[in-house]
Amino acid sequence: MAWPGMEKYQNERIIIHLDYDCFYASVVENERPGLRSLPLGIQQKNILATCNYVARAQGVKKLQLVSEAKKTCPNLVIVNGEDLSRFRDASKKLWLYVREFIWEYKVERLGFDEVFLDVTQMIDFNIANLNLADFPASVLPTCTLASNLACTNADDDKLVEEAADQGIGFFRLSLTDPKRGFSFSWGKLPGHTYPLNDALDLRVLPESDHSSQSLEDDGLDCKVHNDFHQTKHTKHRLHRRLFLAAHFADFLRNSVKETYNYTVSAGISTTKLTAKLAGSVNKPDKQTLLIPAATQSFLDGHEIGKIPGVGFKTAQVLREELLGVVQGGAPEGSSVAEVAFYDKLTHPVTIHDIRRKLTLDRLSQVLDSKEQARKLYGWLHGVDTTPVAQTSLIPTQISIEDTFRSLKGTKQAEQVLIQLVTKLITRMHIDLLSPLPTPTTSTPTPTTSLQRWLACPRTFRLSLRPRDMTGPYSARISKSAPLPRYVFARDSCAEALAGRLVRDVGLPLLRKMGKVGEGELQLVNVAVVNMEESKAGEAVMAGVDIEKVFAGKKVTAEGSRNKNDEDMDWEKEVREIERVYKMLGEKGVEGDHKLAEEIDGISNEEDTIVDGQNLGIVGVMKPIDNQIEPGIGEDLWVKADDNGELSDMDGNGTDIVPAEAPTLRPIAHLRTKSRLDFSELEMEDEVGSPSARGVVCPKCGMGVLLFALEAHARFHEMERREQEK
DNA sequence: ATGGGTCCT
DNA sequence: AGGACCC
């Protein structure tokens, strides 16, 4: 073997790839089973993101223009799928379900509809534990392939052979509980194989196609598949393991189908690469086991860009390296992307072509890094050591975006930002808060129990795509800023927090992007990134009761003291902010006015308003140079004591809170009223400093920030209707 | 294209 | 901050 440990990766891992069939369509069908028998398309803007198989049978394609799809299939049922919430929820539900079966949670999510499973340990445990006593009396295997896979003549295969003769096997799902598992038939290999079962005789499988070049010193050995099968023993052992894996995949697919009503396609092989490619051979609701000896010829038939990891750019570079710069049929003046598209159609290049004609050295020259070349060279030969990563319960980013024909002007952008950020905050609650304790009859849950933040994103990011930017992928411009802490106030409404975040961070970032920010926009994306996992997050990951962590019980062995302390500080901080918010909220607008009066030197009721309950409490500040009292229309920061009494920060009315620390304090936000009267306030330029834009409602005299005008109007409308009754 | 995601540089 | 990749 060419490198230490390669044999292990090549020969010992067993990987299953699952792919939920036309996932978005299936989610909608499960919500509305009546749609199952109808042609169904999921629309995002002008295109169909996907469609069900009924629609495909009528000629509808994925990513087709809606207008075209309607032409080919006039009775197509179309459901809008621009909001991904339901798909994300379903995806997470299925992932968590599958995850529980897999030892060490070796389950990696790819997008919403795919998972990789490393089932090596589960398979090897079951191979080692096949026990004659577990099996009932005999049914002889009837399937040639299965008996080939299952039975061998190798010395230590006696147990397996005998077990196989019994016909029924039991696959254990638990290391400790021998009763947990499922039965399977030794006589039948579930699903499909590549190559086809009928054509398959493992004893006379052709040798892999060797390339003529020397591979001895490459660090790789393309003969690995053959070398591996040199001995009958190892060959049959691998086949038996894959055979078991096929049964396990079948079990998982059936379980998902029975439990949640989703059909799943699966690939079974020894690497992520081959498992995934194998899975797409037979779809939907089917599975495919790639027979190891056929790996090279299987790969050889694929176009180069079909390798996961070889994207648009790399594929084009390789195509050009092989064929020279071609312009197969692309019209004059086509973009690079268009040329690539035509090249792909007119000059398909397969793995076989690349493998035969490009050496590792050549690849190294043409690709970005030696590492990339090495990886690709491995992939061409079926070598893929990429481990299955455990996907964390906590996402590394949360982002929301929307696209437009053309979006112009700061006003429009602000509206869009508020919409997007409102959704973003809602998603933070769904994805980053601990699940509510499940109420049980035995242990009644305390009403005081609060959801905890499992992770805290430190950064807010705004990304834009200007109208006439080109490029196949991103073509985005982005700017980031620290995410203020007040967005973690759990009982404030998302809309209120969104208004603040847009005002304090979103709009300043937009302005910071200069001309792009003010020009025509095609896409606006907001995201929170830089997740910092909390103690609670780790506990949840480890399956520990998080209340114990915070009760000070010892959970982890060592080295976690600092982290724990930081978490407690973080918890305290957020709770302080929430306490003040709630206090002011409970007292309502009237109370707010009264509270305002209590503050020395500010104003009377006429002059001062407080951002009250419906709008939440503003969590930003504006320091005023050497000014003791806030000016008209300015912000003042106050603190609350344990009784809910407000005072300015140092108790003598002279305190100016430093700009760096505002969100760390228990604060309320007051703003003098006079200048607000139907006139807009000026906006500040610096990120993080407030820019208030609001009007005073003529009905109730309350200060209303622009973003909340609509909601405020609805509030009065509701009041009016109540009175009419 | 759409509305998301990942990791690397 | 952007780029490449994935669905």
pTM equals 0.75
A349 CB contact with strand C at below 7 Å = no
Buried b (16+ CB within 10 A) or exposed e, A548-582: ebbeeeebeeeeeeeebeebeebbebbebbbebbb
Q: A453: Cβ under 7 Å from strand C?
A: no
- For residue A51, give the nearest of A90, A23, A86, A20 by alpha carbon: A23
The residue-averaged pLDDT of A440-447 equals 60
**pLDDT attached to residue A664:** 25
Write down the pLDDT at residue A174: 96
Q: What is the pLDDT of residue A449?
A: 65
pLDDT in tens, A220-251: 333 334 343 345 667 778 998 999 999 999 99
Query: CA-CA-CA-CA torsion for A254, A255, A260, A264, nearest 10 degrees?
Result: -40
List pLDDT tens digits, range A488-537: 998 888 988 999 999 999 999 999 998 888 889 999 999 999 999 888 88
At A563 the pLDDT is 67
How far apart, in whole angstroms, are the C-alpha atoms of residue A513 and residue A404? 19
User: pLDDT at position A392, please?
Assistant: 95
A32-39 average pLDDT score? 97
CA atoms of A499 and A110, how far apart (whole Å): 33
A523 touches strand C (CB under 7 A): no
A205 CB below 7 A from strand C atoms: no
Q: Give the dihedral of Cα atoms A59, A61, A66, A67; nearest 10 deg.
A: -40
Find and list the nucleotides of strand B having atoms within 7 Å of a protein beta carbon.
1-7, 9
**In Å, what is the separation between the CA of A55 and the C1' of B1?**
20
Cβ of A311 near strand C (under 7 Å)? The reply is: yes
Average pLDDT (A632-658) is: 39
Is residue A476 predicted with pLDDT exceeding 90? yes
What pLDDT does A585 receive?
55
Query: CA of A360 vs C1' of B8, distance in Å?
Result: 22
Strand C at less than 7 A from CB of A396: no
CA atoms of A706 and A708, how far apart (whole Å): 5
**Total Cβ atoms within 10 A of residue A408:** 13
Cα-trace Rg, chain A: 31
Quick one: what percent of chain A has pLDDT higher than 90? 48
Nucleotide nearest to A113 (CA to C1'): C7
A281-300: average pLDDT: 97
Structure-model confidence comparison of residues A158 and A651, the more confident one = A158
A406-420, A670-684, A687-701: the lowest-pLDDT one = A670-684
Across all strands, nucleotide nearest A80 (CA–C1'): B2
pLDDT tens sequence across A570-628: 778 788 777 766 665 544 333 333 333 333 233 333 333 333 322 233 333 333 333 32
d(CA A374, CA A359): 10
- The answer to whether the C-beta of A395 is closer than 7 A to strand B is yes
CA separation for the pair A82, A372 (Å, rounded): 35
Question: A12-16, A629-633, A707-711: lowest mean pLDDT where?
Answer: A629-633
Nearest residue, CA→C1' of C1 = A478
Q: Which domains, ranges and CATH numbers included, belong to chain A? A: 6-16+92-294 (3.30.70.270), 301-391 (1.10.150), 398-435+451-556 (3.30.1490.100), 576-724 (no CATH)
Which of A284-298, A677-691, A710-724 has the lowest average pLDDT? A677-691
d(CA A349, CA A303): 6
Using the structure, give the distance in angstroms from the CA atom of A483 to the C1' atom of B6, rounded to a whole number: 22
Q: Is the Cα torsion angle A226, A227, A233, A236 positive or negative in sign?
A: negative
Query: Does the C-beta of A394 come within 7 A of strand B?
Result: no
Please spell the DSSP secondary structure of A320-376, one letter per residue. Answer: HHHH-S--TTPPTT--HHHHHHHHHHHS--BHHHHHHH--HHHHHHHSS-HHHHHHH
Span A546-569, pLDDT tens digits: 877 777 655 554 445 566 667 777
Calpha distance A48→A46 (Å, rounded): 7
CB A42 within 8 A of CB A49: yes
Q: Averaging pLDDT over each range in A141-150, A179-188, A642-651, A704-713, which range is the top one?
A: A179-188
**For residues A67 and A248, what is the distance between their CA atoms, to the nearest angstrom?**
43
On the question of pLDDT at A156 being above 50, the answer is: no
Q: Which of A108-112, A672-676, A716-720 has the highest mean pLDDT?
A: A108-112
Q: Are A454 and A393 in contact (CB under 8 A)?
A: yes
The three state secondary structure string of A612-670 is CHHHCCCCCCCCCCCCCCCCCCCEEEEEECCCCCEEECCCCCCCCCCCCCHHHCCCEEE
Q: Is the peptide bond before A195 cis (omega within 30 degrees of 0)?
A: yes
Q: Cα(first)–Cα(last) distance of chain A, in Å?
A: 84
How far is residue A602 from each of residues A362, A605, A637, A653, A671, measured CA to CA in Å?
75, 10, 11, 9, 10
Cβ–Cβ under 8 Å, residues A155 and A233: yes
pLDDT value at residue A455 = 95
pLDDT tens-place string over residues A352-367 = 999 999 999 999 999 9
Strand C bases within 7 angstroms of protein beta carbons? 1-7
Residue A475 corresponds to which amino acid?
A
* Residue–nucleotide distance: A299 CA to B4 C1' (Å): 29
* Residues A398, A209: Cα–Cα separation, whole Å: 46
Report the distance separating Cα A526 and Cα A425, nearest Å.
Answer: 10
In this predicted model, what pLDDT tens digit does every residue of A88-120 receive, in sequence order?
999 999 999 999 999 999 999 999 999 999 999
A689 touches strand C (CB under 7 A): no
Q: Give residue A686's pLDDT.
A: 30
Q: Does the CB of A376 sit below 7 A from strand B?
A: no
* pLDDT above 90 (res A478): yes
- Distance, CA of A399 to C1' of B6, in Å: 13
Considering chain A, what is the average pLDDT of its residues?
74
